[in-house]
């Protein structure tokens, strides 16, 4: 699906450290602990490519991964509560916002939403920022293995309702479980199909 190696490229702590904007990239954004890094591992089929943990605030840099020769996959620090020193959190939140609104080659942002919780105020803040920057974003519900099928509809309804007021939102909502593998092939195909 991706021609060439899938590997960790680099961790970035300032906009000046970003790799040359010479190819399409997609990123995973979302609240701390929502499952961004786990989704990268599921997507690439590599158990520990991105570091995941139960402690919110695990990913503290913008981590670049190669998806073959032609695209980058970007794992972002979370927003919202993080178990880390405030000064550090503020620094990476600033970087996160600069990245999301100022990366020319960012083709689509996947905004991950915990399927148990739906869209929160902090998510909407990020979505508004993406609207302003005209970056198309697509919602991915994570951890669907933790929600009974009959309870999913209410969350989907909430998410659909919120998305309708965001012009940059891509309408299709993905349901995923990194744990069980649900929705992973679909997401992979979407990323591979972007041009
Ligand atoms: P930060 O880097 O701190 O912002 O977190 P993150 O969004 O990268 O989350 P991460 O992938 O580190 O996962 C957080 C926790 O959720 C870990 O304990 C994962 O094992 C768990 N988790 C992630 N995805 C799933 C899932 O699909 N199902 C279940 N049950 N647990 C998951
Ligand atoms: Mg992470």
Q: How many C-beta atoms surround the C-beta of residue 191 within 10 A?
A: 20
pTM: 0.97
3-state secondary structure of 149: helix
CA gap 187, 185 in Å, rounded: 5
Pocket test for ligand 1, best of 47, 52, 55, 145 (most atoms within 8 A of CB): 52
Cα 180 from Cα 186, distance rounded (Å): 14
- So what's the pLDDT on residue 1? 84
Side-chain-facing half-sphere of 124: CA atoms under 13 Å = 12
The DSSP line for 46-58 is -TTSS---SSTT-
57: number of Cβ within 10 Å: 19
Q: What is the pLDDT of residue 3?
A: 87
Spacing, Cα 172 to ligand 2 middle (Å): 24
Mark the residues whose beta carbon lies below 5 A from ion ligand 2: 36-37, 58-59
pLDDT of residue 101: 97
pLDDT in tens, the chain (195 residues): 888 999 999 999 999 999 999 999 999 999 999 999 999 999 999 999 999 999 999 999 999 999 999 999 999 999 998 999 999 999 999 999 999 999 999 999 999 999 999 999 999 999 999 999 999 999 999 999 999 999 999 999 999 999 999 999 999 999 999 999 999 999 999 999 999
Q: Which domains, from first to last, does the chain contain?
A: 6-193 (3.40.50.300)
Q: Measured in angstroms, how far is the CA atom of residue 38 from the centroid of ligand 2?
A: 7
Q: From ligand 2's centre to the CA of 194, what distance in Å?
A: 23
Ligand in closest contact with the CA of 58: 1
Residue nearest to atom 28 of ligand 1 (CA): 143
Q: Hunting for tokens 């929502």 — which residue is that?
A: 34
Look up residue 146 and give its DSSP letter: G
Note whether ipTM > 0.90 here: yes
What is d(CA 84, CA 107) in angstroms, rounded to the nearest whole number? Answer: 30
Minimum CA distance residue for ligand 1 atom 25: 143
CA 1 to chain centre: 20
**Residue 81 near ligand 1, beta carbon < 6 Å:** no
Task: Using the mean position of ligand 1's atoms as its centre, give its distance from the Cα of residue 173 in Å.
Answer: 19
CB 137 within 8 A of CB 103: no
Q: Tell me how far the alpha carbon of residue 162 lies from the centroid of ligand 2, in angstroms.
A: 25
Nearest CA to ligand 1 atom 2: 59
C-alpha to C-alpha distance for 109 and 103, rounded to whole angstroms: 11
Which residues neighbour 74 within 8 Å (Cβ) at sequence distance 6 or greater? 25, 26, 27, 28, 62, 63, 64, 65, 99, 106
Q: Relative to the alpha carbon of 63, which ligand is closest?
A: 2
pLDDT of residue 24: 97
How many Å lie between the centroid of ligand 2 and the Cα of residue 184?
A: 17
């Amino acid at each position: 699906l991706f021609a060439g190696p899938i590997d960790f490229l680099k961790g970035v702590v300032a906009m000046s450290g970003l790799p040359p904007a010479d190819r399409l990239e997609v990123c995973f954004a979302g609240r701390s602990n929502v499952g961004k890094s786990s989704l990268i591992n599921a997507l690439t089929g590599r158990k520990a490519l991105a570091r995941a943990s139960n402690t919110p605030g695990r990913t503290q840099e913008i981590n670049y991964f190669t998806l073959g020769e032609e695209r980058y996959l970007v794992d972002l620090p979370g927003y919202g509560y993080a178990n880390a020193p405030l000064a550090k959190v503020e620094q990476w939140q600033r970087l996160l916002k600069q990245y999301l609104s100022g990366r020319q080659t960012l083709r689509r942002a996947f905004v991950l939403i915990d399927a148990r919780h739906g869209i929160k105020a902090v998510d909407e803040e990020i979505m508004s920022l993406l609207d302003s920057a005209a970056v198309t974003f697509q919602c991915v519900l994570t951890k669907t293995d933790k929600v009974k099928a009959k309870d999913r509809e209410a969350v989907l309804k909430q998410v659909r309702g919120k998305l309708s007021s965001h012009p940059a939102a891509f309408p299709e909502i993905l349901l995923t479980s990194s744990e069980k593998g649900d929705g992973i092939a679909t997401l992979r195909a979407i990323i591979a199909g972007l041009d």
